[in-house]
Amino acid sequence: MFTIPDKVSKLLTAIGIFAFGYIYLAYDTHHQKYLSVIEKYNDQLYKANRAVLQTDKDIEDLKDNSSTLALKHDQPDQIIVKNNKIIFNRILKGPSISIQITEKLEPYWKKYSDDNFKAKVENAILEQKLSYLKSEEKALDNYMQNEFTPQLLTALVIFFAGIISWISEENKINPTKQEEKIYGNCQSCGKVFNSMRLNGTNKDKSLNRAFCKFCYNKGKFLEPDLQKEDFLSNVSLTYAHDNRIIRKRKDKFYKNLERWKE
Of 46-54, 72-80, 160-168, 188-196, which segment contacts Zn ion by CB under 5 A? 188-196
* Among 217, 192, 189, CA closest to 203: 217
Backbone angles phi, psi at 100, to 5 degrees: -65, -40
- Grouping H, G, I as helix, E, B as strand and the rest as coil, residue 62 is helix
| Nearest CB to Zn ion, comparing residues 129 and 259 | 259
**Smallest gap from residue 158 Cβ to Zn ion (A):** 34
**Smallest gap from residue 240 Cβ to Zn ion (A):** 21
| Nearest CB to Zn ion, comparing residues 62 and 186 | 186
- Which of 37, 186, 210, 257 touches Zn ion by CB under 5 A? 186
The alpha carbon dihedral of 20, 26, 29, 30 has a sign of: negative
- Does the footprint of Zn ion cover residue 119 (CB under 5 A)? no
Q: How far apart are the first and last CA of the chain?
A: 10
- Does the footprint of Zn ion cover residue 188 (CB under 5 A)? yes
Buried b (16+ CB within 10 A) or exposed e, 153-167: eebeebbebbbbbbe
Residues recorded for the chain? 262
Among positions 210-249, residues that touch Zn ion (CB under 5 A) are 212, 215
Of 62-70, 94-102, 207-215, 219-227, which segment contacts Zn ion by CB under 5 A? 207-215
- Binding site residues, Zn ion, CB under 5 A: 186, 188-189, 212, 215
